[in-house]
């Protein structure tokens, strides 16, 4: 068994896959090689197994009143809803939270004449009343995330989801940072669409999807009739099997893992704050377990990340999608940090490979760089 790297602190970008999940991928690939759309016996057997796996995945998230639409990633899933909604409702407007991932934020530029933004209120969403006031008569889709990938903030979705449900405004929730890490019960979140990526919770890459409660959007990919004609392409049966296994494992030890990770991140921050009083914390106390967004005013995040990497530690500047950027993060700026503070922001996201010893060593390496 290959143990996860104890010096890997970039789990929000991608988690190491569970070996059991990869074994499921291999097993299902060999056992069910047929295309689920084929009408011969092997194809029908693959189709039945695909439906069974979808039901299992949905049940793990308390999602019993909709369907699982397979995609290659949460990015494709989010794009599918935004582009599909724009084509289905060309006169509608999209309201987007300021701290969403770029796979949603891109719409503020591509569809700027049909897009509105509700800004953050410091570290949090604005009061519910301000969100409601940001909704226009033409607003037909709202896009938010369950957990912010750059701050670790966990958003309370029920109020806005219930409001959207009552007003017949569709709601897209990006759950890619939440699934497998915090309790997710879609029975309590009446959103229309909830996206995920399996590689964020120990599954394989290029496996993602949408949990959908309606089909009121045009497909992003066209061709075959798979997935109710909403996503052409042969379904990734083996990938879904691996994702189900990874989610089952993640949920089975979630409470124990969260307790450990929160203890480790608290100890790390307290020691950093003791020796570097000017360090700023961008993650709330009740944020994602093991997640720390830290700003070091006067430093450059890319230089910190590079220096730590040379010492063997893998951390991030923020979203891995912006690994080569030099400008401050728009999300960190939106929390109220100035440019000097935001420029020195790093993200530490712990996972199952990190233990007390490696966290202490990370702390020492970081202090050695900051205080040198």
* CATH number 1.10.510.10 is the correct assignment for the domain at 19-251: no
What is the value of pTM for the model shown? 0.96
- pLDDT on residue 325: 57
Q: Which residues of the chain have pLDDT under 70?
A: 318-326
- Every domain of the chain and the residues it spans: 19-251, 254-371
- pLDDT on residue 323: 52
- pLDDT on residue 130: 81
Mean pLDDT of the chain: 95
In tens, the pLDDT along 8-48 reads: 999 999 999 999 999 999 999 999 999 999 999 999 999 99
- pLDDT on residue 56: 98
- pLDDT on residue 125: 77
Chain centre distance of CA 189: 16
Q: Do the domains at 19-251 and 254-371 have one common CATH topology?
A: no
What's the angle, vertex CA 13, arms to CA 85 and CA 363, rounded to 5?
145
* CATH number 3.40.225.10 is the correct assignment for the domain at 254-371: no
Give the relative orientation of helices 254-275 and 237-252 as an angle to the nearest 10 degrees. Answer: 70
């Amino acid at each position: 068994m290959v143990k996860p790297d104890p010096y890997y602190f970039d789990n929000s970008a991608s988690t190491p896959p569970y070996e059991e999940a990869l074994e499921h991928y291999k097993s299902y690939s060999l056992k069910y090689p047929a295309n689920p759309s084929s009408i011969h016996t092997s194809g029908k057997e693959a189709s039945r197994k695909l439906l069974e796996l979808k039901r299992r995945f949905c049940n793990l998230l308390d999602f019993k009143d909709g369907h699982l639409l397979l995609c290659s990633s949460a990015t494709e899933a989010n794009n599918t809803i935004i582009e599909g909604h724009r084509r289905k409702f060309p006169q509608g407007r999209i309201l987007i939270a300021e701290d969403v991932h770029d796979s949603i934020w891109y719409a503020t530029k591509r569809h700027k004449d049909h897009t509105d933004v509700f800004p953050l209120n410091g570290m949090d969403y604005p009061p519910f009343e301000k969100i409601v006031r940001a909704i226009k008569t033409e607003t037909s889709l709202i896009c938010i995330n369950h957990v912010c990938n750059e701050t670790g903030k966990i958003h309370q979705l029920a109020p806005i989801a219930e409001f959207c449900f009552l007003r017949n405004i569709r709601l897209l929730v990006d759950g890619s940072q939440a699934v497998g890490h915090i309790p997710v019960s879609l029975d309590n979140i009446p959103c229309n669409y909830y996206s995920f990526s399996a590689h964020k919770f120990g599954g394989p890459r290029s496996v993602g999807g949408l949990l959908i409660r309606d089909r009121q959007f045009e497909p992003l990919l066209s061709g075959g009739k798979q997935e109710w004609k909403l996503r052409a392409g042969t379904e990734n049966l083996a990938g879904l099997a691996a994702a189900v296994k990874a989610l089952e494992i993640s949920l089975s030890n979630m409470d124990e893992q969260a307790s450990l990770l929160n203890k480790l991140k608290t100890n790390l921050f307290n020691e950093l704050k003791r020796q570097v009083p000017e360090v700023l914390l961008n993650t709330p106390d009740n944020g994602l377990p093991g997640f720390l967004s830290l700003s070091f005013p006067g430093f450059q995040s890319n230089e910190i990340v590079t220096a730590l990497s040379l010492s063997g530690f893998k951390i991030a500047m923020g979203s891995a999608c912006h690994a080569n950027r030099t400008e401050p993060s728009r999300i960190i700026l939106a929390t109220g940090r100035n440019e000097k503070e935001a420029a020195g922001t790093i993200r530490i996201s712990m996972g199952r490979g990190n233990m007390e010893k490696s966290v202490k060593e990370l702390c020492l390496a970081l202090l050695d760089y900051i205080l040198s």
